[in-house]
């Protein structure tokens, strides 16, 4: 139940980030709704399609759709306040990244996927929706920018989660530890502006 509640929380947070980007891009209500939707469930939808988990999770459980709609309404109603708390939203976004990444890896393992596939599915679940959001808004996806780490914390977090399971650590404890690793790594990169080194052509 706790993981499910965190999953809904992450859905709401990602949906609000979609609303904010839609407003910054001068979109209307429908545009905000579309960006909120793809941000919140885009990665998980692709994951379920690749794993053969159909119908996808938000069709099986429409609570996700209601959470997205509520997040859009709240986001638009408190827009001026939301803009002033950018750092708080970054914290929420890091929480969502942590929850979604581990949840994605867990679902892949439940479908019998190999560890490397579970890591890919975790990263896709955590960062895929944001990538779709950014592309629809005409921006370079956050996972491809050099300003700070985004996908990298998810990769290491999912890898560490699998290692903990292989060491017979309690799955709930492994989820908490790996989630904290993803969240803390993401926030440190935001605060310290840590990014992967750029690759430049010689000469």
Q: Is residue 197 part of a domain?
A: no
What number is the average pLDDT over the span 126-136?
A: 90
Q: What confidence score (pLDDT) does residue 154 get?
A: 95
Residues 158-198 have pLDDT tens digits of 999 999 999 999 998 999 999 999 999 999 998 888 877 77
Domain that holds residue 35: 2-192
| CA–CA distance, 192 with 148 (Å, rounded to integer) | 8
What number is the average pLDDT over the span 75-89?
A: 75
Q: In this structure, what are the phi and psi dihedrals at residue 137, rounded to the nearest 5 degrees?
A: -90, 5
Q: Is residue 131 part of a domain?
A: yes
Report CA Rg, the chain.
Answer: 17
Residue in this structure with the two tokens 């914290």, named with its chain if needed: 91
Q: Is residue 198 part of a domain?
A: no
Residue in this structure with the two tokens 């990665």, named with its chain if needed: 43
| CA–CA distance, 183 with 24 (Å, rounded to integer) | 25
Q: Could you give the number of structural domains in the chain?
A: 1
Q: What is the pTM of this model?
A: 0.88
Q: Is 166 exposed, middle or buried (0-12, 13-18, 19+ CB in 10 A)?
A: exposed
For residue 70, name the pLDDT band (cuts at 50, 70, 90).
Answer: very high
Q: Is residue 200 part of a domain?
A: no
Residues 2-58 have pLDDT tens digits of 677 878 888 998 898 888 888 888 898 999 999 999 999 999 999 999 999 989 999
Q: In this structure, what are the phi and psi dihedrals at residue 115, rounded to the nearest 5 degrees?
A: -55, -45
């Amino acid at each position: 139940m706790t993981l499910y509640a965190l999953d809904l929380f992450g859905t709401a947070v990602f949906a609000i980030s979609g609303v904010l980007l839609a407003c910054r891009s001068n979109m209307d209500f429908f545009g905000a709704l579309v960006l909120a939707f793809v941000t919140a469930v885009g990665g998980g939808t692709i994951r379920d399609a690749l794993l053969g988990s159909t119908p996808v999770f938000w069709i099986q459980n429409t609570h996700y759709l209601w959470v997205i709609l509520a997040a859009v309404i709240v986001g638009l109603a408190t827009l001026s306040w939301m803009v002033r708390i950018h750092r708080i939203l970054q914290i929420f976004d890091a929480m969502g990244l942590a929850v979604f990444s581990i949840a994605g890896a867990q679902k892949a393992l439940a479908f019998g996927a190999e560890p490397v596939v579970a890591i890919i599915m975790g990263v896709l679940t955590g960062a895929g929706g944001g990538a779709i959001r950014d592309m629809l808004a005409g921006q370079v996806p956050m996972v491809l920018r050099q300003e700070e780490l985004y996908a990298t914390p998810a990769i290491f977090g999912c890898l560490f989660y699998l290692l903990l399971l292989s060491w017979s650590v309690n799955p709930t404890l492994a989820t908490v530890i790996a989630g904290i690793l993803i969240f803390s790594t993401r926030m440190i990169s935001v605060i310290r502006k840590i990014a992967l080194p750029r690759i430049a052509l010689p000469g």
